[in-house]
Amino acid sequence: MMDFSDLKKVLDRPNPGLAMHRFAGELYPICRSITGNGFRETLRLIRDRIPLEIHEVPSGTAVFDWTVPLEWNINDAYIADRRGKRVVDFKQCNLHVVSYSRPVRATMRLAELREHLYTIPEHPDWIPYRTSYYKESWGFCLSHRQYQELDEAEYDVCIDSTLEPGHLTYGECYLGGTRSEEVLISCHACHPSLANDNLSGIAVATFLVQALASVSRHYSYRILFIPGTIGSITWLARNGEKTDRIKHGLVLTGVGDSGPITFKRSRRGDAEIDCAATHVLRHSGKPYQVVDFSPYGYDERQYCSPGFNLPVGCLMRTPHGQYPEYHTSADNLDFVRPESLEDTLEKCLKILCVLENNRTYRNTSPHGEPQLGKRGLYRSVGGQQEGAVDEMALLWVLNLSDGQHSLLDIAERAGFPFETIHEAAEALAHHGLLR
């Protein structure tokens, strides 16, 4: 197995960004929702690439303050004019139907139908994405242009859906490490044809698992592909005893747009994942932002609810709601960039690499500085050799390794990238100067 620190090798496959984008393209046409066959089909396609256990939880199951809902499936839906021409057609775009719409078959006057139509007047070519999971209703989403073309008095309306007792489905992948302590990676997979919001996270998480499977790991990794909110609540309700093992976590969402990367801190704010992610982004040489926790957003809300307060942050690019394409048909495959997916995957691996290698040492020769020259550690004063360990990094590690400072603490205080401090620590440990 490869060493985790050798990220170049770990990422060494031809164009991972393009491969992730292609995978998102495979998943894009599927009509997903928080339950149903679209979600199952998505999990099967993920399972073709990584080991995945698929769980089914019956409708009606109590999960904390919530109840697993009825399962929703849809075959077809349309609004047709009196000549039978479909003016709005689910088969053209699955966003046309409000997710969880109850079945409808009716002829109705436009005035009545209008109450069930949703558009975005300021973006007349885009179709909005709407849901009605927990309140029984129905509706259609259409472009404002389509809406303005409606003129007949009466239309045939059909939503061929089912809303029946069934299951909530989620996928779970577990990669064991030398420790039972876990890193949790979670992404939502419950949106229909929306590329950045849902598919980008799924693609990066899937490829992350492939990369993690090829390296030697200290931590064990648990990766969840779940429906938003109800999925994380369901997982937490069924796995309460496992949550003590979760030492670090990341929600991956909206990780494919062209904006700079954003890390949202965990509720704790000063957890190791918060420090590691911030450190990696600060040393990336690229624009980024770190934002504080707030009880809104994605499944970090559930993992960071006060009863759990898990150290789970959220990695995204442009935060949800801060780009006009969010929750519209314009969040399509063109909106997601291969290079952004690749950059996110690399950042994830770098953050995990810090967590894997972060430990606290004690200097075995703490009275005065140990003599580095006689150990060959002061290799090249006045001209760094290739591969030489940074001397300042050696001195920082020796000075701060008092059993109180982790390598990440030292990297932060010294202003060095974590890799440099880690290399220095490895060299010092090799010479018996750290334990």
Task: List residues binding Zn ion (CB under 5 A).
Answer: 197
Q: Which long-range contacts (CB under 8 A, 24 or more apart) does 330-335 make?
A: 330/123, 330/126, 331/129, 331/194, 331/195, 331/196, 331/197, 332/28, 332/193, 332/195, 333/21, 333/24, 333/25, 333/28, 333/195, 335/195, 335/196, 335/256, 335/257
- What is the rounded distance in angstroms from the CA atom of residue 407 to the CA atom of residue 396? 10
- The two three-digit tokens of residue 373, written as one number: 């020259």
Min. distance of Cβ 170 from Zn ion in angstroms? 17
Residues 293-323: b if buried by 16+ CB within 10 A, e if exposed: beeebbbbbbbbbeebebbbbbbbbbbbeeb
- Residue with smaller CB distance to Zn ion, 175 or 199: 199
Q: What's the start-to-end Cα distance of the chain, in Å? A: 25
| Residue count of the chain | 435
- Residue with smaller CB distance to Zn ion, 191 or 350: 191
* 260 burial level (CB within 10 Å; 0-12, 13-18, 19+): middle
- What is the rounded distance in angstroms from the CA atom of residue 432 to the CA atom of residue 52? 42
Residue type, 356: E
Min. distance of Cβ 191 from Zn ion in angstroms? 5
- Residue with smaller CB distance to Zn ion, 126 or 219: 126
- Residue with smaller CB distance to Zn ion, 327 or 337: 327
- Residue with smaller CB distance to Zn ion, 197 or 300: 197
- Residue with smaller CB distance to Zn ion, 32 or 422: 32
Cα–chain center distance at 79:
35
- Residue with smaller CB distance to Zn ion, 141 or 408: 141
Min. distance of Cβ 202 from Zn ion in angstroms? 13
Min. distance of Cβ 365 from Zn ion in angstroms? 55
Min. distance of Cβ 197 from Zn ion in angstroms? 4
- Residue with smaller CB distance to Zn ion, 316 or 394: 316
Residue identified by tokens 């409606």 is 150
Min. distance of Cβ 198 from Zn ion in angstroms? 7
- What is the rounded distance in angstroms from the CA atom of residue 369 to the CA atom of residue 118? 71
Min. distance of Cβ 90 from Zn ion in angstroms? 19
**Closest-approach residue to Zn ion (CB):** 197
Min. distance of Cβ 129 from Zn ion in angstroms? 7
Count of CB atoms within 10 A of residue 92's CB? 11
Residue type, 48: D
- What is the rounded distance in angstroms from the CA atom of residue 263 to the CA atom of residue 273? 10
- Residue with smaller CB distance to Zn ion, 197 or 257: 197
Q: Which of 291, 228, 288, 233 is nearest to 261 (CA)?
A: 288
Min. distance of Cβ 62 from Zn ion in angstroms? 25
DSSP annotation of 199? I
Q: How many CA atoms lie within 13 A of 418 on its CB side?
A: 25
Min. distance of Cβ 163 from Zn ion in angstroms? 21
- Residue with smaller CB distance to Zn ion, 46 or 190: 190
